[in-house]
């Protein structure tokens, strides 16, 4: 399994430029669609295009499963923007795209998760609730993540405006295997190996 997990893709995307150049990328902005600020979506889109990626944008909360499946099968890279982790996991599990994603990752495709997109890879996402509010229409009976990794990504660590809140999360969940990363760091996961890389 190949994962690239980060806080801010436009800051660190160049670290995996060769994985993206001239590749088909499915761009999923679902986590951000109900958020007030979405500047990171535009800056990620711009970087992908600059790197020569062939982008197909798809919102899994609005598209039918067959269309999503066809796009996933055709793509080389699956990218999730930041936004609300609970909204994103809810949509993934509700639509069955969580299972589809795992199937495609088993084929060796690269998944890029930015902020919320990296949080959902953990065994559970309840640790992030202090930072991400649960949507009123959250339909899951638990906070299970995708369980792609055996640790918990804490994005935007000590970065404004999340300085205080990320320090609180790290302290409160000291029993968890948390990997805090700032906006200039990313976690590369290759099979069972994971390492933090920096810009």
Tracing tokens 């390492």 back to the chain, one arrives at 195
CB atoms within 10 A of CB 184: 15
Q: What is the pLDDT of residue 192?
A: 85
pLDDT of residue 69: 97
Spatial separation of the C-alpha atoms in residues 192 and 101, rounded to whole Å? 18
- Contact between 63 and 91 under an 8 Å Cβ cutoff? The reply is no
Contact present, 109 and 76 (Cβ < 8 Å): yes
DSSP single-letter state for residue 144: B
Q: What is the pLDDT of residue 64?
A: 94
Catalytic amino acids? Answer: 115, 156
Decide: 38 and 70 in contact? Cβ < 8 Å: no
Per-residue pLDDT reduced to its tens digit, 77-121: 999 999 999 999 999 999 999 999 999 999 999 999 999 999 999
Query: What is the Cα–Cα distance from 30 to 117, expressed in whole angstroms?
Result: 10
CB 2 within 8 A of CB 189: yes
Q: In the predicted model, what is the mean pLDDT of residues 163-184?
A: 96
Predicted TM-score (pTM) of the model is 0.97
Q: What is the pLDDT of residues 112-171, one digit of tens each?
A: 999 999 999 999 999 999 999 999 999 999 999 999 999 999 999 999 999 999 999 999
**What is the per-residue pLDDT across 39-75, written as a single tens digit (0 to 9) for each?**
999 999 999 999 999 999 999 999 999 999 999 999 9
- 108 is written with which tokens? 């060796």
Residue 69 corresponds to which tokens in the numbers above?
Answer: 């499946």
Alpha carbons 12 and 47: distance in angstroms, whole number: 10
Domains of the chain: 2-198 (3.40.50.880)
> What is the overall mean pLDDT for the chain?
96
Give residue 199's pLDDT. 82
Task: Note the Cα 44 to chain centre separation in Å.
Answer: 12
CB neighbour list of residue 190: distance below 8 Å, 6 or more residues apart: 1, 2
* E strand or H helix that includes residue 44: helix 39-50
């Amino acid at each position: 399994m190949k994962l690239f997990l980060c806080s801010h893709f436009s800051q660190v995307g160049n670290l995996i430029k060769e994985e993206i150049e001239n590749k088909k990328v499915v761009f999923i902005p679902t986590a951000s669609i109900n958020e007030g600020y979405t500047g990171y979506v535009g800056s990620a889109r711009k970087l992908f295009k600059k790197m020569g990626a062939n982008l197909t944008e798809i919102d899994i909360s609005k598209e039918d499963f067959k269309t999503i499946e066809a796009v996933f099968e055709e793509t080389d890279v699956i990218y999730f923007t930041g936004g609300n982790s609970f909204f994103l996991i809810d949509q993934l599990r509700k639509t069955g795209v969580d299972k589809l994603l795992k199937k495609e990752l088993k084929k060796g495709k690269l998944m890029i998760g930015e902020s919320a997109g990296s949080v959902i890879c953990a065994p559970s996402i309840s640790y992030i609730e202090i930072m991400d509010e649960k949507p009123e229409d959250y339909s899951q009976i638990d906070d299970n993540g995708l369980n792609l990794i055996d640790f918990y990504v804490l994005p935007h660590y000590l970065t404004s405006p999340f300085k205080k809140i990320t320090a609180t999360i790290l302290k409160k969940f000291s029993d968890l295997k948390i990997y805090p990363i700032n906006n200039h760091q990313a976690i590369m996961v290759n099979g069972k190996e994971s390492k933090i890389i920096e810009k």
